[in-house]
Homo-oligomer: A and B are copies of this chain.
Amino acid sequence: MDTRDAAATPSGDPHELPSNRGRWGEDDELGTLNLITEEARARGAAEVRTGRTVSLALPIRPTPLVSGPFAPSVQDASPVQQVMVYTGSPAMATAEVIVVTNHHPRSTHLDALAHMPRDGQVYPGRPLGESVTPAGARHGSTTAFADGITTRGVLLDLASDGPLPSGYAVTSQDLDAAEEREGVRLESGDALVVRCGWDMTPDPTRPMPGMSLDAVRWMHVRGVSLYAGDIGDAHPPLDPACPAPLHGVGLPLMGMPLIDAARVEELAAICAEFGRYSFLLTVAPPRIHGLTGVPVNPLALF
């Protein structure tokens, strides 16, 4: 599928929700990752010139799983808890077990397609109870990410003049304007990286900005393969009629994987320094099957 196809297929009708259900068959587990063609990957490869690399992951400082007399007290909730294990006395090696809460607002993580059902179904329209069992996700899980994701990434920096205002709804015009300003054009199969200048920790006193349904529709029309942003869906919701355009439409209807809580400050600084807003993006989650999400350390290579 080339980029004209991708642009042609999705409906532009503003009254319908953007959807790829059925587009790649009833058994599809890749969703918009299908848009990463050889051509798209080569476009990404061409961005690698110096080997300079930036991580798009927030640092995670684990909390000790053990509290009480044998460990310092727990300070903060963390996405990861750690317990150092006894390997004999004296210790033969040092080792630990970690307990990971995959979907945590302070962990940069990749949502699999099965993470969000819509009307009892997960992408591309399978019953939730059949796709996700007590033993793990059977369809639309992290299994689809086994080989990693490699494609061209494009940063649209919406916060180059400062963080977006509280409660602001990002629209397709904002995305078009950023492309214009940066002199870059996102093509089908590219990963979209967005900077809003906020972080995902909800703050009841200052409503977040977030993507509107119009912005998500733009992603559909343009063929975004993967979304990564410092924030995405606003909490509290911007629009009660569509409270979570990325998680409630992008994941279950469009089949577009999401990277929540990306760290994009350093990336933005380097893009500005280089005057170049495109790069090779690699996302290589631990190769663990059957999850609905997984922590990742996305790398931008220049």
What class of interface size applies to chain A in its complex with B?
A: 35 or more
Smallest beta-carbon distance A57→chain B, Å: 4
Q: Which of A26-34, A204-212, A292-300 contacts B (4 or more CB under 8 A)?
A: A292-300
In the bound complex, CA of A268 to CA of B132 (Å): 35
| Contact residues in B for A49 (Cβ distance below 8 Å) | 45
Most B CB atoms within 10 A — which of A42, A57, A297? A297
* Interface contact A150-B53, CB-CB below 8 Å: yes
Q: Which of A14-22, A70-78, A221-229 contacts B (4 or more CB under 8 A)?
A: A70-78
Chain A 109-126 interface 0/1 with B at a Cβ cutoff of 8 Å (1 = within): 000001111001010000
Q: Which residues of chain A from 84 to 109 have a CB within 8 Å of any chain B CB? A: 84-108
Across the interface, A287 reaches (CB within 8 A) one of B57, B92, B134, namely B57
Nearest B residue (CB) for A289? B61
Smallest beta-carbon distance A201→chain B, Å: 10
* Interface contact B55-A44, CB-CB below 8 Å: no
What is the predominant secondary structure among interface residues of chain A facing chain B? loop
| Contact residues in B for A79 (Cβ distance below 8 Å) | 67-68
* Interface contact A280-B68, CB-CB below 8 Å: no
* Interface contact B52-A41, CB-CB below 8 Å: yes
Nearest B residue (CB) for A297? B284
* Interface contact B74-A291, CB-CB below 8 Å: no
Does A301 reach chain B (CB closer than 8 Å)?
yes
Does A64 reach chain B (CB closer than 8 Å)?
yes
| Contact residues in B for A283 (Cβ distance below 8 Å) | 284
Q: With A286-B296, A290-B61 as given contacts, are A86 and B91 in contact (CB-CB < 8 Å)?
A: yes
| Contact residues in B for A59 (Cβ distance below 8 Å) | 146, 287, 289
In the bound complex, CA of A184 to CA of B50 (Å): 21
Q: With A55-B148, A134-B71, A136-B84 as given contacts, are A117 and B97 in contact (CB-CB < 8 Å)?
A: no
Does A159 reach chain B (CB closer than 8 Å)?
no
Q: A59-B146, A66-B97, A284-B296 are in contact. List 18 more A-B contacts (CB 8 A).
A: A41-B53, A43-B51, A51-B151, A53-B147, A55-B287, A57-B286, A57-B287, A60-B287, A67-B101, A68-B106, A70-B134, A74-B74, A85-B85, A91-B117, A91-B132, A94-B128, A95-B103, A150-B301
**Which residues from chain A sit less than 8 Å from chain B, CB to CB?**
38, 41-45, 48-55, 57-62, 64-74, 77-108, 114-117, 120, 122, 128-129, 132-137, 146-148, 150-151, 247, 280, 282-299, 301
The 10 lowest CB-CB distance pairs between A and B, nearest first, are: A41-B51, A45-B51, A84-B86, A68-B104, A57-B287, A286-B295, A67-B77, A89-B91, A284-B297, A74-B77
